[in-house]
């Protein structure tokens, strides 16, 4: 079978389109088969780009996935900031539920978070990691600002503690609630391998534990003293 003819991108616009095609190919593969199974060869094939040409745009598949993670941070930040800006009584439970619902609505982002620190920042040029980290920082700061406005008693450090708890819990719980298929089958055959409480439902577990964490942070926050 004749191989498809690949043409090199000549203009800056062509290059942007080619890079966007690779990111979209990685997105569709990650949604279909999970972040851990994405390879640069599969991304190139899905995008219709020769493997040798991909490295003109990304050093590895992990760099492509890092871009998807940054997009996920932006989506989560936008959704949470918009929700917390809505009128109505504010409480630790409402803030926690808003953070959790934004994560639950974005399974790909949760899968990316579960791999972000463990795998995705490896085998990527430091300069590119720092560049992507800057965009993630913008989203994180916006989230912390929204949390602090919603619950001023938390202060700046408490708002960031809440944010760190949200994405850390999402990362851990996603792994627990979504084991590889072969492990799911093995656990079904060997029910004593895990306590039944370990068989969590992602949305309810994340919301429950994050709510408890947020309530605890608020209760431990120092209250302003009244002047006599």
For 12-32, write each residue's pLDDT tens digit.
Answer: 787 888 889 999 999 999 999
Give the pLDDT confidence score for residue 187 in this predicted structure: 66
For residue 132, count other CB atoms closer than 10 A to its CB.
19
CA distance 120 to 114: 10
Q: Match 């938390």 to its residue by tokens.
A: 154
1 has a pLDDT exceeding 50: no
195-215 pLDDT per residue, tens: 777 778 999 999 999 999 999
Decide: 43 and 29 in contact? Cβ < 8 Å: yes
Q: What is the mean pLDDT of residues 52-71?
A: 89
Kindly report the length of the chain. Answer: 228
* Between 161 and 177, residue with greater pLDDT: 161
Give the pLDDT confidence score for residue 77 in this predicted structure: 98
In this prediction, what percent of the chain has a pLDDT beyond 90? Answer: 58
Query: How much is the pTM?
Result: 0.84
Decide: 171 and 109 in contact? Cβ < 8 Å: no
For residue 29, count other CB atoms closer than 10 A to its CB.
22
Give the pLDDT confidence score for residue 84 in this predicted structure: 96
CA distance 219 to 214: 9
Cα–Cα distances (Å) from 10 to 15, 16, 17, 38, 43, in that order, read 7, 11, 11, 27, 21
CA distance 69 to 135: 10
116 has a pLDDT exceeding 90: no
Give the pLDDT confidence score for residue 223 in this predicted structure: 65
Give the pLDDT confidence score for residue 224 in this predicted structure: 57
Give the pLDDT confidence score for residue 8 in this predicted structure: 52
Q: What is the mean pLDDT of residues 41-56?
A: 88
In this prediction, residue 10 has a pLDDT band, given cuts at 50, 70 and 90, of low
CA distance 19 to 61: 12
In this prediction, residue 183 has a pLDDT band, given cuts at 50, 70 and 90, of low
138 has a pLDDT exceeding 90: yes
CA distance 174 to 168: 10
* Between 205 and 221, residue with greater pLDDT: 205
CA distance 102 to 73: 10
* Between 86 and 10, residue with greater pLDDT: 86
- Per-residue b/e over 157-187, b at no fewer than 16 CB within 10 Å? ebbbbbbebbbebbbebbbebbeeeeeeeee
Q: Which domains does the chain have, with CATH numbers?
A: 1-58 (1.10.10), 64-220 (1.10.357.10)
């Amino acid at each position: 079978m004749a191989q498809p003819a690949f043409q090199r991108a000549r203009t800056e616009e062509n290059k942007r389109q080619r890079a966007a095609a690779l990111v979209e190919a990685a997105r569709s593969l990650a949604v279909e088969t999970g972040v851990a199974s994405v390879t640069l060869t599969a991304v190139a094939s899905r995008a219709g780009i020769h493997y040798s040409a991909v490295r003109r745009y990304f050093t590895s598949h992990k760099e492509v996935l890092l871009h998807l993670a940054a997009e996920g941070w932006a989506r989560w930040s936008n959704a949470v900031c918009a929700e917390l800006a809505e009128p109505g009584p504010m409480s630790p439970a409402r803030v926690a539920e808003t953070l959790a619902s934004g994560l639950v609505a974005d399974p790909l982002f949760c899968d990316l978070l579960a791999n972000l620190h463990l795998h995705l920042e490896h085998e990527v040029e430091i300069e590119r990691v720092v560049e992507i980290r800057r965009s993630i920082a913008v989203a994180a700061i916006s989230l912390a600002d929204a949390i602090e406005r919603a619950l001023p008693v938390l202060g700046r450090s408490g708002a960031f503690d809440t944010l760190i708890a949200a994405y850390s819990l999402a990362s851990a719980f996603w792994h627990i609630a979504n084991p590889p298929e072969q492990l799911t089958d093995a656990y079904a055959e060997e029910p004593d391998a895990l306590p039944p409480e370990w068989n969590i439902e992602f949305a309810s577990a994340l919301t429950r534990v994050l709510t408890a964490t947020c309530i605890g942070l608020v209760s431990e926050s120092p209250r302003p003293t009244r002047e006599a």
